[in-house]
Chains A and B, each alone.
Chain A
Amino acid sequence: MTEKVLSILIFLPLVGLIPLLVLPKSRSGIYKYINLAVCLLQTILAVFVFCLYSKPGLVTDPIYGLFKLTERLNWITIDLGNIGRLSINYFIGLDGLNVTMVLLSAIVMLIAAISSWSVEKHLKGYYALLLILNTSVLGCFLSLDLFLFFLFFEFMLLPMYFLIGIWGGPRREYASIKFFLYTLAGSLLILAVIIGLYFSVADPVETSVRLGLAENIEAVTVNDVSNVQGMLQSKQIPKRAIVHSFNIPDMTSPKNFIPGSVFHVFTKINFMGLPIRMAAFLALLLGFLIKLPAVPFHTWLPDAHVEAPTPVSVILAGILLKIGGYGLIRTVLPVFPEGMVYFGSFISFLAVLSIVYAAMNALGMKDLKKMIAYSSVSHMGFVLLGIASGTPEGINGAIFQMFSHGILSSGLFLAAGVLYDRTHDRGIENYRGLASKMPVYTIAVTILFFASLGLPVFSGFIGELFSLLGAFHSSTTNGLVPYWMSITAVLGILIGATYFLWTLQRMFFGKFWISKNITFNNKFNDLNSREMIMLVPLIIITLVLGVFPGILLEPVSDSVEVLIGQIFSSGLDNLKTMQNFRSL
């Protein structure tokens, strides 16, 4: 049971899909409970997995050292004759980079499940899409096979498109198509690189089985692997015996790249004047930056958020954005580390641009949800900054910030939804003095706002602080982030405080007043118990993480250290090789 827990996590929603589809429409009241039960179970499992991971004692994978609870099954194997052999695995596993993400997505999905209570249209379709989305999100976070990752990554698009396009606001078609096209453009770039990687990378484990060094995959030892790698690099393995692979852990080691292939370090292929590896790095980076999103690829986000129904906004901000950041640290950095070293200041420029530019935009917004959406972009800029710094505190901070932002933005969108449910209006300037009508709501919003603007004792502070510390540390040591950028990034904190406080002042304080355009059926009721159940745990989580950030940071840090080792050892090596090889 414990060994298969990750698969259970991924496919639990699909199991829940069966009763959902079987039940007739007349029983539509049960749908939400099915979804809730699935999400609840998943959250319990995710917490269990997290605890399991963070306590020492879990066996690591014998070959891919860091990973725990790995599952590896042959999925598609085709002999391609002279080209070699194609092998796609169902390969999932847990390490520091994704363990927090799994926990986050389970929690956010649960909150979204509760938040979906208010959906009334086409319930069956809605919940079915939600469950499919759930599976693909967890699959995406857990898969260690690039093909599998991409499959889940793409599969997320479909339910999202329909969830925005059918259950969204008045401009939903526009928003959903924009979302779809943007993300699809990103995925195409990713796909192109994945295909190239496939032709370039050999799986030493399966190759050694094929060469007869071991009887089956389970019997392969680390020794075999290094033997095969040595043979591969000295071109002793015939081409038809090489097993091509999509394994991400295999891609991170330069020894697994087949000599003479597209992405091997010695390759002489150029693309648009750049060495192909650099071009591939940029393509992959761009694909994930769109998802993150970083300025200037961000304009899909405000529209998608504004039009999406509350639970979908929650999922979008809480989980889907994180896949961009996760993709960066899972694939881009370890596979093309020299790109990270070479383009470090470019990435951090985008990060700082995101932080400041999106914050300025948030300041200018008149729509509450749009303001929150832009604040999301600004906060995700800190994630990018932390990643770009390439320092332990920076990347740890980035992962922490992803988690924290997932929790906080979920809370913020829920809060915006609370108001929207009552009045169907989100204009900031249409309200004043809500505090006197909805005191508890005001307290919740105040806490969420202050947590988001980086007040200590809340998780947002830790994430931003670590990113900034990392950025400046990087300025003084590895130079990936120039000084002026790390100093400019600090401004984001000030602007963040400005727009949040200004909104708070305009909407919640002062004498009660609402615009005449607002028509509301029921009165300004304060939070009901369902809304409390959603908001209070989020607030507690952000508070606990703000006071004890070690809960989240400590399990992560081992993997981050390895990642940084990869970036700087093989990254610098590769860069040097490439520079010697041609004048870069």
Chain B
Amino acid sequence: MNSYLITDLDNLVYFSLIAALLPLSAFFILFFFGKKLPRKGDWLATLLIGLSFILSLLVFFSVWEGRAGSMTFQWIALSGIPENAFSISVSIDKLSSFMILTVCLISLLVHLYSMEYMKGKLNYTRYFPYLSIFTFAMLGLVISDNLLITFMFWELVGFTSYLLIGFWFTKEEAVKASKKAFLFNRIGDLGFLLALMIIWSFAGTFEFQYLGDSFEDQSIWFTLAGLGLVLACIGKSAQFPLYVWLPDAMEGPTPVSALIHAATMVAAGIFLLAKVFFLLSEDVLTTIATIGAITMLMSAIPALFQNDIKKVLAYSTISQLGYMFVGIGAGVPEAALFHLFTHAFFKAGLFLSAGAVIHYMHEIKHVLFHEGVYNDFDAQDMRLMGGLRKRVPLVFIVFIVCSSSLVGLPLLSGFLSKEAVIGAAFNWADSYSNTNNSFVYYLIPLSCFVTAFFTALYMIRQLMMVFFGDFRLENLIPYLNAKHEHHHQSLLISLPLVVLCVLSFALPFSLNPFSPQSSWFLKEFNQLFESNLEFAHWVTYTTVLLALAGIVLGIFTYRNKVYISDKAEKSDVLELFGHNWYLEKFYYKAMVLPGFRLAFYTTKIDYLIDRLIEGTAIAYVVLSHIVAWFDKNIIDGIVRLMATLAVFISGFFKNLQSGKVQQYFVYTLATVMILIYIFFNWMK
């Protein structure tokens, strides 16, 4: 069945296939035999993903040396359908190799981190298989060169993230969040499906390599297919208006958030847009940029009002993904990819350090529980933290570095990529406003600036709340004052933190840490997309200045803020931003409620159909009763009348048969005499 169509491969393709299949095998082994293995087999999963990582390094470097490979299998051969319509193809190029590397690296770090973080947690046996299958799905998505197969992995990624978000399945919120994530992703997937349908009908193939040729006329369908794909990416990469699932998805375990909701799954949308970049028409690109700009602003502001340590990061992720959207929309996908790359590391670093903080808080909870002064508190609530820089110094350093990178301070990786995106946005706005004579296009780079300012503000707020000031939990529970034991940081937790911290510096990406253009990443990808990478310098200065302004303002605002008071803070601003612009309420009112109402009405319609049919049945029965009555009384009556007559007549004749011989004789005699009389009369 699987016959070769194209054979153009070397070890590369095999390496990447094996790299993808290793986590799958880990999944199967752990899913079925995990319980019997020592430590529930977490080491096995980590080992296999480590192998994958080594393979991905090999692939990455050989691709960067200029090699590439691809392979195509026939998947389904149907008569009446073109031969290569349904095929499976793998392509290893720059784009996929760098994604493989990112996914494998973050996944490996998260695996290591989870071995400590998740230890002893409920359902530990299930955790590593889920991580493995997620990694497999993500790798498959990345190496596939066929849009249909990509879609399949795309869905699979959604499913595995459903499993991981709802990992603590006894927690109602976690389960609801996982359902929400899957359904919002599904809305996006409808767009993907529509795009697939359009592409199938007009191009007749799903192979990326043939797709470009097939859409020769730029019809409305071409744009629609592009929009469908954009909708899919809006769902997966948590953009406006579908981003509401991501903050809720923080119900999942923290390492999972680092893997899925910072580095890989949400990046899949950006990856896909870069991959199908040649399919996107100008209108679609403008749409992408607009959505990105709206999203980054809309999510940066609520981030200022969150009290959950992970939710701040979630909103920040959405906002950074908005940057990436703008990068794609501005026609410079390499900038978006670069931001994806750097963001994957520093955001994963932030999530993992947040995880370390939560881990620390959990330990306190445990201690309190064992000492008998159990006081249930939310371990993720930043209002209870503060002053943690002394308790978890390593985490503090990592957090500072990663958040500076996020804010976009020079010398750090985030600076390079963010400048690239904002610069690209400015170039784009410049050229568009020149051709269209409208300044509306400048709104998009403007929103990038504003967001940069807000980013600094919310990050400094988080830093202050978590690491500076007093440890507010101690003020709340005086018992803790007496306990000042030193926190021992496990190597399994600190190692990933350190790696990610190092990767948040600019140096690994560019020898000149002040110039995005000089980074090897952008240079390499520029060969692929060939877009303009020359940015105005004032853009860079403005961004950095705005970020610094944000930091300064933040320090002054949040330095002496009282977080725990008897008076609950209440204001309209807080209401609006705390509730995420009422988007959830809107969805509830506009989609969920009408949906259920519709479901209610359809059941009623079914009820009506049933009654209608029963009514027909009853009418039928009534009719048959009438017929039965007619049958019994009229038709049977006639028959009975005849029968009665017959009985009456026969009764008369019966009485003649008296059984008395002499009577018979008399009858005979009389008859004979009558006959004789008649005979004689007749003779006359």
Contacts and interface: CB of A to CB of B under 8 A. Distances in A.
A and B held together in a complex: yes
B613 A299 contact: yes
A361 B599 contact: yes
Interface stretch (B77-85, B261-269, B388-396): B77-85
Contacts of A191: none
B387 to A, nearest CB: 35
A507 to B, nearest CB: 11
B183 A364 contact: no
A561 B80 contact: yes
B599 A363 contact: yes
A560 B190 contact: no
Contacts of B189: 493
Interface in B154-203: 155-156, 159, 166, 169-172, 175-176, 179, 182-183, 186-187, 189-190, 193-194, 196-198, 200-202
A494 B179 CA distance: 12
Interface string A486-497: 110011011101
Given A361-B599, A456-B152, A502-B179, A549 B76 contact: yes
B153 A557 contact: no
Interface in B594-626: 595-596, 598-600, 602-603, 605-606, 609-610, 613, 617
B151 interface: yes
A299 B595 CA distance: 21
B603 A393 contact: no
Contacts of A299: 606, 609-610, 613
A514 interface: no
Contacts of B581: none
Given A456-B156, A509-B166, A498 B595 contact: yes
B170 A472 contact: no
A473 interface: yes
B602 A553 contact: no
Contact of A433 (B75, B81, B170, B196): B170
A361 B609 CA distance: 13
Given A456-B151, A468-B197, A469-B197, A491 B80 contact: no
Interface string B32-76: 000000000000000000000000000000000000000000011
B78 to A, nearest CB: 4
Interface in A418-468: 433, 435-436, 450, 455-457, 461, 465, 468
A537 interface: no
Contact of A561 (B79, B602, B609): B79
Nearest to A486: B197
A509 B617 CA distance: 43
Contacts of B602: 357, 360-361, 364
A456 B153 contact: yes
A393 B81 contact: yes
Nearest to B152: A456
A159 B202 CA distance: 49
B639 interface: no
B371 to A, nearest CB: 27
B76 A472 contact: no
A476 B201 CA distance: 7
Nearest to A468: B197
Nearest to A501: B179
Contact of A557 (B79, B193, B200, B613): B79
B80 A564 contact: yes
A490 B166 contact: no
Contact of A497 (B171, B186, B193, B617): B186
A145 to B, nearest CB: 27
A144 to B, nearest CB: 22
A510 B599 contact: no
B169 A494 contact: no
Interface string A215-258: 00000000000000000000000000000000000000000000
Nearest to B617: A181
A173 interface: no
Interface string B627-646: 00000000000000000000
Nearest to B182: A501
B1 interface: yes
B81 A450 contact: no
Interface string B406-441: 000000000000000000000000000000000000
A472 B609 contact: no
B152 A457 contact: yes
Given A299-B606, A393-B81, A505 B175 contact: yes
A364 B610 contact: no
B88 to A, nearest CB: 10
A504 B166 CA distance: 11
B183 A498 contact: yes
Contacts of B75: 549-550
Given A299-B613, A392-B78, A396-B78, A509 B175 contact: yes
Interface in A486-540: 486-487, 490-491, 493-495, 497-498, 501-502, 504-505, 508-512
Contacts of B151: 456
Contacts of A360: 595, 598-599, 602
Contacts of B183: 494, 497-498, 501
Contacts of B179: 501-502, 504-505
A554 to B, nearest CB: 6
A436 B609 contact: no
Nearest to A393: B81
A365 interface: yes
Contacts of B595: 360, 363, 495, 498
A475 interface: yes
Interface in A92-117: none
Interface of A: 178, 181, 296, 299, 302, 357, 360-361, 363-365, 392-393, 396, 433, 435-436, 450, 455-457, 461, 465, 468-469, 471-473, 475-477, 486-487, 490-491, 493-495, 497-498, 501-502, 504-505, 508-512, 548-551, 553-554, 557-558, 560-561, 564
Given A364-B600, A475-B201, A476-B202, 17 more contacts: A360-B595, A363-B599, A364-B599, A392-B81, A393-B200, A455-B155, A456-B151, A457-B152, A465-B196, A472-B200, A473-B200, A501-B179, A510-B169, A512-B170, A549-B76, A553-B78, A557-B80
Interface of B: 1, 75-81, 148, 151-153, 155-156, 159, 166, 169-172, 175-176, 179, 182-183, 186-187, 189-190, 193-194, 196-198, 200-202, 595-596, 598-600, 602-603, 605-606, 609-610, 613, 617
25 contacts: A178-B613, A299-B609, A299-B613, A357-B602, A361-B599, A361-B602, A392-B79, A392-B81, A436-B170, A456-B153, A468-B197, A472-B198, A473-B197, A487-B194, A493-B190, A494-B187, A494-B190, A509-B170, A509-B172, A511-B170, A548-B1, A550-B1, A551-B1, A553-B78, A557-B80
